[in-house]
Amino acid sequence: MIEFKNVEKYYDKFHALKNINLKVEAGEVVVIIGPSGSGKSTLIRTINGLEQVNEGQLLVTNFDLADKKTNIDKIRKNVGMVFQHFNLYENKTVLENIMLAPRLVLKRDEAENKKIALDLLETVGLADKAQSYPRMLSGGQSQRIAIARSLAMKPKALLFDEPTSALDPETIDDVLKVMKDIAKNEGITMIVVTHEMGFAREVADRVIFMADGQILEDDTTAEFFDNPKEERAKKFLSKIIKH
Q: Which residues bind ligand ATP (CB under 6 A)?
A: 11, 14, 16, 34, 36-42
Residue number, 11 or 89, with CB nearest to ligand ATP: 11
Smallest gap from Cβ 2 to ligand ATP, in A, equals 17
Query: How many Cα atoms within 13 Å fall on the side-chain side of residue 36?
Result: 2
Residue number, 38 or 78, with CB nearest to ligand ATP: 38
Smallest gap from Cβ 213 to ligand ATP, in A, equals 7
Residue number, 28 or 51, with CB nearest to ligand ATP: 51
Smallest gap from Cβ 162 to ligand ATP, in A, equals 6
Contact 221, 47 (CB under 8 A): no
Smallest gap from Cβ 12 to ligand ATP, in A, equals 7
Give CB contacts under 8 A, 24+ apart, made by 183-188: 183/29, 186/151, 187/27, 188/27, 188/155, 188/156, 188/157, 188/158
Tell me which residue of 188, 179, 235, 185 sits closest to 211, measured CA to CA: 235
Residue number, 83 or 224, with CB nearest to ligand ATP: 83
Give CB contacts under 8 A, 24+ apart, made by 176-185: 178/123, 178/124, 178/125, 178/144, 178/147, 179/147, 179/203, 181/123, 182/147, 182/151, 182/158, 183/29
Smallest gap from Cβ 42 to ligand ATP, in A, equals 3
Residue number, 48 or 141, with CB nearest to ligand ATP: 48
Residue number, 42 or 142, with CB nearest to ligand ATP: 42
Fill in the amino acid letter for 161: D
Using CA atoms, how far apart are residues 158 and 191, in angstroms rounded to an integer? 7
Smallest gap from Cβ 121 to ligand ATP, in A, equals 30
β-pairing, 206-211 with 29-33?
parallel
